[in-house]
Structure 1
Amino acid sequence: MRTRSISAATALAVLFGSAALSVTVAGTATAATTASVATPGGLVANGTLRRVYVGDRSSGAITAADYAGTVIGSVRGIGGVSDLALSADGGTLWAAASTSHEIVAIDAATLAVTARYPVDTDTGPRHLAVTADRVWFTYGAQWDGDLGSVDPAADPATGTGQVTLGRLSQVHSTISGPGLLDTDPARPGVLAVAQTGLSTDSMAVLDVTGPDPRLTAWHTGDYSLNYGISDIDLVPGAQEVLVGGSARNSYADGGFKKAGAYPAGQSADIGPGGLVAQVDGGTIATYRANAAKPLRTWNNGVAHTSDLAWAPDGSRVFALVAGAGGRYTLKALTDPTKNNPTLTVNAPTSAPRAKKLTVTGKLTATVALPAGAKLTVTRTDLDSPNGKALPAVTVKSDGTYSFSDTPPAGGTVTYTARYAGDSAHTAVSASDKVAVSRAKPTLSLNNNGKLYDYSADVKFTAHLGTTYKNRTVEIWANPFGADKPNKLIKSAKVNSSGNISATVDMTRDTDVTAVFKGDARYAPRTVKSTAYARVKVSTAVSRHYKTAKIGSTSYYWFHKKTDPMLTTSMTYYPGRQQRFDLQVYYQGQWYALDSEYFPVGSNGKSAVSLEAPGESGIRVRMRSAYLNGGSGDTVNSTTYGSWKYLYFSN
């Protein structure tokens, strides 16, 4: 393959009076990229080189791809490329450059521009078609569309005889907009023209075998054919055109009249033997000539397919399919001449394990299936995660089939039926799921509802009863509070007694769960125990001058005018407060004064200075407490600190 350098391409562009050209050809080290465009500007397949060419109008580029849709190379500098066509031998790629107003000839193998033919118009050229000796193009505004031609054999040095305008108005009035064009190798010398830009249906068929076009058939825009034209294709072997991807119209008598129809579509391309590839929104279908039902369908799951083209050998259909970001991606649709059957599988929604069930379904196709077609069947379940083959099933003459099976495993059981395809049909598969019952296992977990001191190490034991094969149990600990995630603390097989234990450090109230994930005969099960944890709380007393007992109780002694400092240490949690309880002793009884909440610092401390009474003989006591909910959070259980006794003397 010959690769043009940038300098050579630039010199060639200057020779033909245009902007600089950029040519790139993908090398072996380049990562494979699927061809895509922002604004479709033509699509054509080259059977000689087994390439596909895609124009991008917005970037002025033409991309070449292989038959898988992988980019081979590209050429830029084709201003407003709007349509592409190939010479009969596949050696020259022709492009309509609508913004630079020229027809561009490109070497189909190297992507080097070989000639540029300026077109004396400010509206086009727009559409292209190629016959044996000329390149035809349309141009013009909404009300004065016309036809032009390029004679590649004329001497480019003279500048004469290469581009001729007004070819349609030579034989008839002009059409609306730059018209659609089509030629067909099976109909040499025949050119179809159809208007664009309006919802009417003006069209013509021209004989272009001579030096000047001759009118074969004409239809004016009188709405008698009742559709707007979005596409026109010559039908091989008949004096017909296919319009809008669906309507066939005969032109045998010099006019046009309806001659049949395919199901609704927007555009089409006619391939070998009259096969039709049709676009209908995001669906693409192929039809045999004059068939009422599709041969093959592809649903691309998108709203729009811009353009399509047959490979000349009929091996595939190329389509520009709308995708993410508004770009169009080149898709290579294989086996277009094979019918794609439809297969259904209908299994019961639910069924008991180890009991016989029946699965039914149907295999249908728009092209008759061979008698006695067989389906392979597999069952996928917990015992056979890779699928277990079941006996093959023969399809009845009406397409229906059925088979019975006894599922040995419970859980989700999937039955899959497959048809391998044949010379006229593609392969197809379908499946359905059954919820097969499983026994409920025994699973328990101790310590539910128990209360523990802060940071106690508590052993939780789960007990698993009878199961089939799986004897593994997981134990999870989920401390209260959003900052602590649920954590797996142990996963192992239970011992011979069916037990498994794990130790939890109880710094918070905690949900502990035991999880059995089930097996082929026993269902999954989870049990939960919620255990509770106190906070760690203590209070240090300072500023006293001694400690001594009054009766059997030890007191901190303060002078009557000294303010006691009471410093509480409590397990920290963001926003946590300790409740300060104060009581006074009077005539043999303790009486509660108002309780008050004080914040706990990030160091876990809360210091409170108690105002001295100023008189002697006063006895008080205090304690710090954490109240679940009242202290600002709910991650621990209510905890009361010990009482601290204070006595005020002279």
Structure 2
Amino acid sequence: MRRRSTSIATALAVILGSTALTALTAGPATADSAKVLPVRSVGDIVVDGTHRRVYVSDPTGGRIVVTDYAGTVKATLTGLPGVTGLALSADSGQVYAAVKDGNRIVSVETETYTRTASHPVGATPGDLEVVDGRIWFAHGTDFGSLDLSGAEPVVRLAQRGDVGFHGGFGMFLASDPAVPGVLAAGNGGDLAVYDVSADGAALRVKGRMNTGVKQLDLTPDGSQVLTSWGDPDYGYGIGAYATTDLAEQEGYPIDAYPNAVRVAPDGSVAGGSFSWYDPDVHIHRPGDPVPVREYDFPNTGDSSGADTLVDGALAWAPDASRVFAVSVNTHGTYTLRALTDPTRELPTLKVSAPAKAERAKKLTVTGRLTSKETPAAGTVLKVTRTDLETPDGKALAGVRTKADGSFSFTDTPAVGGKVTYKVSYAGDATRAPASGSDTVEVSRKATSLSLNNDGKLYAYGKDVTFTAHLGTTYKNRTVAIYADPFGSDKPKKLLKKAKVNSKGNLSAVVDMTRDTAVTAVFAGDARHAAKTVKSTAYAKAKVSTSVSGHYKTGRIGSTTYHYFRKKTDPVFTTTMNHYTGRHQRFQVQVYVQGSWYDAGSEYFALSGGKSVVRLEAPGESGVRARVRSSYVNGSSGDTVNSTTHGAWKYVNFTN
């Protein structure tokens, strides 16, 4: 423990006017699902509806990650450098993967995720499609096929015919299980449809498409090829081309940069777009340019824009219950997102209730159910009321909508406080469920609640009883008493929570080591309002000072003095209850001609609750002085106790 010092001679000089006091030296005193994928890139995505699995290829990592519909990883297939295109066999028994670095197509059994075969194809495979059992694969600006139906695999390359594919954005293929013998191919602004029902590919028709296309798909009725970039009447959109002559038809407008397109077995269209500030996935009914549903990805990165859709990373569940999408953020983190109920409109249900109402009096609740296509008049909506006595909700009579979707009903709340009315729509084949709610503050009587000891000052460590008194209430007789000691290091604490006694009282004891705010809380009941009252009580600091270095003690009059030789320095050790950064105020007074005069004061840091100060001896006899240590609220470095002065300690210097 370090010692501090001050000079009694200097103090005397101040009193006698001979010099200035030298300063004392102060010592150091945080529905749809989303799961992060363990991948470094994304090449393709395919969904196995039979086993409810999602396959995602990672070209950079050389792997295929298999998840369930919730995104939980079930298997990881490694050793596939450059793996990109994926396709599922018609019976869902095999997944085929294009492995670029090995110029091969790998087969994976979907029950056990076992690699069953690896077929060299003599070129670098990319996009994959399975048509009538044959695997079609893009390579360069051309495409070929792998036929596994015979005793030996048969590979045919360069099947594009006289179509001048030449773009550098990749070769894209498209087919649909419902359209046998048809394959669409596109690249660099060129688009073509082929008959692949026999050996090889026979060109049916060729045409043009936008050069920004990132993906193709074929509608299940075989009438259109859809492209991920088209030329709608305004803005951007999904392109649509007739398979008979590749004439451009009305597509599906999108406000941002389109980069994916996938068609469900029922013809519903999922369009994707690269968009930081707009929706990322757009669901359309066949032929309808207005989306029935849109999904906007959140921002999980560190830029102002949200996560974006990976090019071509869209896939439907075969039952159209979900669309799977892979997004990426600014950190390069990839997330598999399962977007539910994609083909059903998302209605809105607005409920409006009065802000306030009187208990036991009738009130009216109104609202409106809206959707792209308004449900028929007479649609029944479920109504639930939640209040203090029925926190889990009570079903009220259902309400029917009018032709414009509006509705209204009346209720007479018997319970005061917050009353919530929730109205729910069950949904139907084309609309998702929806609900809305609003809250009414229903009147309650004022509650009488008091708490004693406000403003009182207590000695350090005294056990003080605080008593809350609760007046008349309806049912609830429970009161909670909390103590919140001053200072950021001690949190508010529940002392007691219980029913008051027959006199309406509840008491709790506080150990008064700090100034303390004590609160009593009544939560309210069905007819009486909640109430909180506070009493702030104050606690003195614990201050004591001991003296050492004296040769005796004795009385001068009725006062006890510590006697020191005129050249011996008194040492004063002050003990005070600890608080981080606390200082004690050390005050010196000198006795001159029958009166005590202030000789100055200084603050000294406490270490472990103690401070040692050495007072320099005057070097002459006949000098009397007194010192005391104090805690001063605010000036001592904190405000957790009330100002407290220790006892004076008297010293007398002799020969």
What is the TM-score when the length of structure 1 is the normalising length? 0.79
Q: 2:485 aligns with which of 479, 485, 501?
A: 479
CA-to-partner distance for each residue in 1:416-449, whole Å, 9 max, x for gaps?
1112233444332232334445554333333333
Task: Specify the alignment match of 2:163 in structure 1.
Answer: 172
Letter in 2 for 1:151: D
Letter in 2 for 1:209: S
- The secondary structure found in structure 1 opposite 2:43 is strand
Q: 2:104 aligns with which of 102, 105, 108?
A: 102
Q: Distance in 1 between matches of 2:551 and 2:94?
A: 107
Q: 2:475 aligns with which of 469, 492, 513?
A: 469
Task: Specify the alignment match of 2:270 in structure 1.
Answer: 277
Q: Distance in 2 between matches of 1:382 and 1:580?
A: 60
**Does 1:322 pair with 2:327?**
yes
Task: Specify the alignment match of 1:537 in structure 2.
Answer: 544
Residue 308 (structure 1) shift: 2.9
Q: Distance in 2 between matches of 1:639 and 1:500?
A: 31
- The secondary structure found in structure 1 opposite 2:102 is coil
Letter in 2 for 1:640: H
Residue 393 (structure 1) shift: 0.7
Task: For structure 1, list consecutive stretches of 5 or more residues without a partner in the other structure.
Answer: 1-32
Letter in 1 for 2:193: V
Residue 83 (structure 1) shift: 1.1
**Does 1:229 pair with 2:213?**
yes
- The secondary structure found in structure 2 opposite 1:401 is strand
Letter in 2 for 1:278: G
- The secondary structure found in structure 1 opposite 2:396 is strand
Task: Specify the alignment match of 1:59 in structure 2.
Answer: 61
Q: 1:580 aligns with which of 578, 582, 587?
A: 587
Q: 1:147 aligns with which of 143, 147, 165?
A: 143
CA-to-partner distance for each residue in 1:367-390, whole Å, 9 max, x for gaps?
563442111111222222111112
Task: Specify the alignment match of 2:23 in structure 1.
Answer: none
Task: Specify the alignment match of 2:191 in structure 1.
Answer: 203
Letter in 2 for 1:454: Y
Does the C-alpha gap of structure 1 residues 608 and 408 become closer, same or farther in structure 2, counting only changes over 3 Å?
Answer: farther
Task: Specify the alignment match of 2:261 in structure 1.
Answer: 268
Q: 2:287 aligns with which of 290, 294, 298?
A: 290
Q: 2:174 aligns with which of 182, 197, 203?
A: 182
Is the Cα–Cα contact under 8 Å of residues 377 and 405 in structure 2 kept in the other structure? no
Q: Distance in 2 between matches of 1:371 and 1:227?
A: 48
**Does 1:528 pair with 2:565?**
no
Q: Distance in 1 between matches of 2:88 and 2:552?
A: 109
Is the Cα–Cα contact under 8 Å of residues 320 and 328 in structure 1 kept in the other structure? no
Q: Which moved more, 1:372-381 or 1:60-69?
A: 60-69
Residue 630 (structure 1) shift: 3.9
Q: Which moved more, 1:56-65 or 1:186-195?
A: 56-65
Q: 1:418 aligns with which of 420, 424, 427?
A: 424
CA-to-partner distance for each residue in 1:331-351, whole Å, 9 max, x for gaps?
555555544433222334454
Q: Which moved more, 1:372-381 or 1:35-44?
A: 35-44
Is the Cα–Cα contact under 8 Å of residues 318 and 330 in structure 1 kept in the other structure? no
Letter in 2 for 1:288: R
Is the Cα–Cα contact under 8 Å of residues 581 and 596 in structure 1 kept in the other structure? no
CA-to-partner distance for each residue in 1:199-221, whole Å, 9 max, x for gaps?
xx32111223344433322224x
Letter in 2 for 1:128: L
- The secondary structure found in structure 2 opposite 1:463 is strand
How is 1:96-495 mapped onto 2 (pairs within 5 angstroms)? 96-121=98-123, 124-132=124-132, 134-140=134-140, 145-153=141-149, 156=152, 162-168=154-160, 170-177=161-168, 178-195=170-187, 201-220=189-208, 228-237=212-221, 239-244=223-228, 246-253=238-245, 256-264=246-254, 266-280=259-273, 283-295=280-292, 301=298, 303-306=307-310, 307-312=313-318, 314-322=319-327, 326-330=332-336, 337-367=343-373, 369-495=375-501
- The secondary structure found in structure 1 opposite 2:503 is coil
Does the C-alpha gap of structure 1 residues 92 and 516 become closer, same or farther in structure 2, counting only changes over 3 Å?
Answer: closer
Letter in 2 for 1:150: L
Letter in 2 for 1:531: Y
- The secondary structure found in structure 2 opposite 1:522 is coil
Is the Cα–Cα contact under 8 Å of residues 585 and 620 in structure 1 kept in the other structure? no
Q: Distance in 2 between matches of 1:366 and 1:649?
A: 102
Q: Distance in 1 between matches of 2:41 and 2:411?
A: 54
Q: Distance in 1 between matches of 2:298 and 2:407?
A: 30
Q: Distance in 2 between matches of 1:294 and 1:335?
A: 13
Does the C-alpha gap of structure 1 residues 610 and 392 become closer, same or farther in structure 2, counting only changes over 3 Å?
Answer: same
Residue 146 (structure 1) shift: 1.5
Aligned length: 592
Q: Distance in 2 between matches of 1:485 and 1:356?
A: 44
Q: Distance in 2 between matches of 1:427 and 1:585?
A: 91
Letter in 2 for 1:276: V
Q: Distance in 2 between matches of 1:99 and 1:407?
A: 72
Residue 636 (structure 1) shift: 2.9
Is the Cα–Cα contact under 8 Å of residues 80 and 97 in structure 1 kept in the other structure? yes
Q: Distance in 1 between matches of 2:601 and 2:179?
A: 103
Residue 193 (structure 1) shift: 0.9
Residue 392 (structure 1) shift: 0.6
Q: Distance in 2 between matches of 1:47 and 1:510?
A: 64
Q: Distance in 1 between matches of 2:317 and 2:609?
A: 77
Q: Distance in 2 between matches of 1:311 and 1:263?
A: 23
Does the C-alpha gap of structure 1 residues 475 and 364 become closer, same or farther in structure 2, counting only changes over 3 Å?
Answer: closer
Identity of aligned residues (%): 42
Residue 500 (structure 1) shift: 2.9
Letter in 1 for 2:268: L
Residue 113 (structure 1) shift: 4.0
Does the C-alpha gap of structure 1 residues 234 and 405 become closer, same or farther in structure 2, counting only changes over 3 Å?
Answer: same
- The secondary structure found in structure 2 opposite 1:163 is strand
Does the C-alpha gap of structure 1 residues 381 and 596 become closer, same or farther in structure 2, counting only changes over 3 Å?
Answer: same
Task: Specify the alignment match of 2:632 in structure 1.
Answer: 627
Letter in 2 for 1:389: A
Task: Specify the alignment match of 2:21 in structure 1.
Answer: none
Task: For structure 2, list consecutive stretches of 5 or more residues without a partner in the other structure.
Answer: 1-34, 230-237, 300-306
Is the Cα–Cα contact under 8 Å of residues 480 and 510 in structure 1 kept in the other structure? yes
Q: Distance in 1 between matches of 2:502 and 2:513?
A: 32
- The secondary structure found in structure 2 opposite 1:99 is helix
Q: Distance in 1 between matches of 2:631 and 2:48?
A: 83
Task: Specify the alignment match of 2:27 in structure 1.
Answer: none
Does the C-alpha gap of structure 1 residues 279 and 462 become closer, same or farther in structure 2, counting only changes over 3 Å?
Answer: same
Residue 229 (structure 1) shift: 1.5
Task: Specify the alignment match of 2:15 in structure 1.
Answer: none
Q: Distance in 2 between matches of 1:597 and 1:72?
A: 67
Q: Distance in 2 between matches of 1:510 and 1:475?
A: 12
Is the Cα–Cα contact under 8 Å of residues 544 and 564 in structure 1 kept in the other structure? no
The Cα RMSD (Å) is 3.6
Q: Distance in 1 between matches of 2:272 and 2:564?
A: 100
Does the C-alpha gap of structure 1 residues 101 and 573 become closer, same or farther in structure 2, counting only changes over 3 Å?
Answer: same
Residue 244 (structure 1) shift: 1.6
Does the C-alpha gap of structure 1 residues 522 and 203 become closer, same or farther in structure 2, counting only changes over 3 Å?
Answer: same
